[in-house]
Amino acid sequence: MVPFKNVYVPTKKFTRDFSLSSNPFGPSPRVKQALMQALSGSDSLLSPYPETGYPALLQAIADFHRVCPEQIILGAGLDGLIFDTINALLGPDDELVLPAVTFENALYAAIAQGARVQQVPMKSDFSVDFDQLIKSINPKTKIVFLCNPNNPTGIYEPLTSIVRLLESTQAFVVLDEANIEFSGGSAISLIERFPHFMVLRTFSKAYGLAGIRVGYGISRSPLLKKTASARPPFFISTLSAIAAQEALLDQDYVHSVVEKIIHERTFLERELNVLGFTVIPSQSNTVLCRIPSSIASASCLIEQLNRYDFHVVNGTHFNLPDCYVRIAPKVHEANEQLLGALRHILGK
Ligand SMILES: Cc1ncc(COP(=O)(O)O)c(C=O)c1O
């Protein structure tokens, strides 16, 4: 039995917090304009309940991905959808299978449901061991959960591996693509071939809208309806829906921001290597690295960083030993400041 732990959220405020990966460049300016316009209208959008089913946002997402609105489920962030899905579909007799080192929310949602959990060890390079994952699936397995690119490793798994997994099982495969804009191709096109497959996406990362809490899932499975009917009807606000819809329309902005974040990530990876960190090459918007052997533990390093008012997340939150940290790149100046603090701590 996996012991219950809480999902990682910062418990203290730090001026320079590199622990959570929100977009440091913020959303498209069009989002602010749309919100101002919505608020300045004579018929306030604040008093009425949101329109049932958020049809405008659903249609915008459907058009963007070229799927039917019926194949989309909205949620209060991607996290919200993970919990909604697991709460609706997993009971104490069911099992969740997932890699041992991954985004932890599905694990905690399953534990809260009293479901069984199988965490499948990673390969030595931290990639997902698809052979073992497939072998671990058994008649009790109701959901297989994966992140691509994975969090915290930043490793992108090729779609051929996802297809192999989908071909091997009838369990519901849930693929978290929260950070897909920073790496290779999305698996969304596979939903046509595999009805037992769902891809989850979010406005929190590339779109710079973590504060509005909007995510969505795309699938052909009837489990979408089952999930939707097991929760209240209004779970995102009218203003959040407007913000998400507008953000989706400004793809030029998204592409430019993604480029900048990848540039900063590459810069951090290079400089961390120079400082003696062992960096796992990332295709996401975070960098996982092993600390230099001169530092006793990641906890010690974080304690020292906290004294400088910096914060990064300890790999222990992701089931890793206490010698890994995950760093989310910020704007260039902040990244330079973090490197400066690390140089100071390391005496370099
Ligand atoms: C892989 C992954 N999934 C989900 C989330 C949470 O997304 P949201 O803000 O939409 O709940 C994150 C955020 O760190 C993430 O990295």
**Token pair 């499975």 is at which residue?**
221
Q: What's the CA-to-centroid distance between 213 and ligand 1, angstroms?
A: 10
Q: Is the CB of residue 288 below 6 angstroms from any atom belonging to ligand 1?
A: no
Q: How far apart are CA 329 and CA 126, in angstroms?
A: 21
Q: What's the CA-to-centroid distance between 244 and ligand 1, angstroms?
A: 16
**Percent of the chain whose predicted confidence (pLDDT) is above 70:** 97
Q: What is the pLDDT of residue 348?
A: 84
Mean pLDDT of the chain: 95
Q: Considering only CA atoms, which of 262, 253, 263, 147 is closest in space to residue 207?
A: 253
Distances (CA, A) of 326 to 18, 65, 288, 292: 8, 31, 4, 14
Q: What is the pLDDT of residue 281?
A: 96
Say if residue 6's pLDDT is above 60.
no
Residue 284 dihedral angles phi and psi, to the nearest 5°: -135, -160
Q: Is the CB of residue 202 below 6 angstroms from any atom belonging to ligand 1?
A: yes
Atom of ligand 1 nearest to the CA of 147: 1
Q: What's the CA-to-centroid distance between 204 and ligand 1, angstroms?
A: 7
Q: What is the pLDDT of residue 15?
A: 86
Tell me the three state secondary structure of residue 273.
helix
**Percent of the chain whose predicted confidence (pLDDT) is above 90:** 91
Q: Which of 20-24, 171-175, 297-301 has the lowest mean pLDDT?
A: 20-24
Tell me: the pLDDT tens digits for 25-79? 999 999 999 999 988 876 678 889 999 999 999 999 999 999 999 999 999 999 9
Contact between residue 251 and residue 236 where contact means Cβ atoms under 8 Å apart = no
Say if residue 1's pLDDT is above 50.
no
Tell me: the pLDDT tens digits for 222-235? 999 999 999 999 99
Which domains are assigned to the chain? Answer: 16-26+252-346 (3.90.1150.10), 30-250 (3.40.640.10)
> DSSP letter at 45?
S
Tell me: the pLDDT tens digits for 172-181? 999 999 999 9
Q: Is the CB of residue 19 below 6 angstroms from any atom belonging to ligand 1?
A: no
Tell me: the pLDDT tens digits for 314-324? 999 999 999 99
CA-based torsion, 261, 161, 112, 121: positive or negative: negative
Tell me: the pLDDT tens digits for 148-198? 999 999 999 999 999 999 999 999 999 999 999 999 899 999 999 999 999
Q: What's the CA-to-centroid distance between 208 and ligand 1, angstroms?
A: 12
